[in-house]
Amino acid sequence: MQLMRLQRISCAVVAALIMLAGSVTLGSRAAADPATGCKQSPDPNAAITDPSWPLTQYDLPDKVWPFTTGNGITVAVLDSGVDRSYPELAKNLLPGMDMVTGQPQGNVDCTGHGTGVASVIAAQRGDGIGTYGIAPGTKILPVRTSETLQADQSGAPEPSGARVAGGINYAVSQGAQVILVSTPTLENSPELEASVAQAIGAGVVVVSAVGDQHPDKLRPNEATPPKFTPYPAAYDGVIGVGAVNADGTRLKTSQIGSYVDVVAPGADVIAGGIIGQNSYSDTSVASAFVAGTAALMLAEPGNRYAAMSGAEKSKAVADTIIGTASPMISKNTNAGYGAGIVDPYRTVTETMAQTSPQALPAHVGPPYNAAAVAAEARAQRSATNSAIIGWASVLVVALAGIGIFVWKRSRRTGWRSGRADTTELTRPEAAPEFVSGEALFAPPPEL
C-alpha cells in the first residue's frame, strides 16, 4: 500500500511538471474562444434516435447489467477532451485535465471525438436517444491530449509521446482504474514507456486504440508499415484494440500488426457529439468498448480481481478480455483481428483457469509379452482358417444342390434339351369352303 502511495505521488509530480511546461508555451498559441475554450467553436450535432448496432448485438440491459454496470470504477479517457454540456454524461463526468494547455479542465472538447468515445463507455439512457454507454455506472476522467485527429495519414506524432505520458501519470495519480488512450501517438518515447509500465505496475488496466493509418494500397492482410506503429498499444501489457464492421470484417483503416490484441465494433457507431450525437468509424470508438468492458469486470461484485494488486491485477483483466473474445471465422490468422471480437457478457460470466496449461503425461504402453503376442497371432490364424472352412462348406453345399437339381431335370427330359413333352400348342386352320355366287346371292327359300 505504501508503494502505491509513493507511485501516485510521483505521478502527480510528473503531471504537474508537464502542466507547467504546457503553461509556459501557452502564450504562443492562438487565443481561445472564452465561451468554449476552443480556437473555433464546434458545430452542434443533432439528436439521433436510431440505436447503435453494437448495443443491439451485445444486449447489455438483459445479459450484462444484471451482473454489473461498472459502478465505482473511474475510466480516464485520453483524447480531445469531453464536452461537459453533453447531457447523458453530465452526472458521470469529472473535471479532468487539459494536457494541451496545462489547465485543470479536461471537460472541454473542440472536436467532439473524445465526447463520443466517453459516451460509448458511460453515457446514460436518455429520452429520444438511441445510444448509451456499456458501463453507465462508471465515472469518466477526461484528459485532453490531442487538439486534432490524424486523418491525413501524414505520420505526424500527434499527440506527442510526452503529452500522452503526462496524461497517463495524471490519471494514475487521480485513482483511475482503467486508462484509455483512444488517440495513440506514433512517437515511441522512453517516458511514455515508463509511464505505461508504472500504471500497469500499480494495477491499472491500460487500453489503447491501434490507430487508423492502414494504407489502402497494401495487399489484403499485409501488415501496416512500421512507421505507423501505435503507442502505447505496442507496449507489453497494453490491450491494443482494432475495429470491425457490423459484419465482423476489419475496418479497412484499422491497422494490422502484432499490437492488435482484440477487435471491437468501430464502424458507423452512433455515439455522443457536441450536445447531440454523431457517427464514428475508427479504432478509437472501438477501444472504448474494451475499456468499458474492463470497467464492468472490475466492478462486478465478488470478482476475483478485488483481491489482486499491481501487475498481477492488470494482467488478469487483460488475459480475461483476450481469452473470452469471440474468435474470427477466417482461414487467415492475420494480426488484424487479434484474439477476436470482445464479448462483455463472456468476460463477466466465464471463469478463466487460474493455472497455466499442464502438459499431459507421456503415454506408457504395457510391457512387451512375446508369449501373449504369439498366442494372439495363433488365435487370429485360427479364426481366419475357421472362416475359410465355413465359407468353403457353404459353397460345396450350394454346388451340390445345383448339381442334384440339374441331374433330376435332365432325367425327366430324357437328357434332351428343350421341353420334356410334345403337346401340340397350335392347331392348323381348315381350308376355306368355296361358295358360288348363285348360292351367295340367291334368295332364301320360302318357309
Which residues does the annotation mark as catalytic?
Answer: 79, 113, 284
Q: Is the Cα dihedral 255, 170, 280, 289 positive or negative? A: positive
User: Tell me, what DSSP letter sits at residue 208?
Assistant: E
Q: What whole-number distance in Å separates Cα of residue 52 and Cα of residue 116? A: 12
Cell, residue 71:
459502478
Cell, residue 214:
492502414
Q: What whole-number distance in Å separates Cα of residue 266 and Cα of residue 165? A: 25
Q: What whole-number distance in Å separates Cα of residue 116 and Cα of residue 82? A: 8
Report which of 258, 326, 329, 332 is spatially closest to residue 289, judged by C-alpha positions: 326
The total of other beta-carbon atoms located within 10 Å of residue 284's CB is: 32
Determine contact, residues 277/133, Cβ cutoff 8 Å.
no
Single-letter code of the amino acid located at 101: T
How would you write 48-89 as a 3-class SS string? CCCCCHHHHHHCHHHHCCCCCCCCCCEEEEEECCCCCCCHHH
Helix 161-173 crosses helix 2-25 at what angle (to 10 degrees)? 140
The total of other beta-carbon atoms located within 10 Å of residue 298's CB is: 24
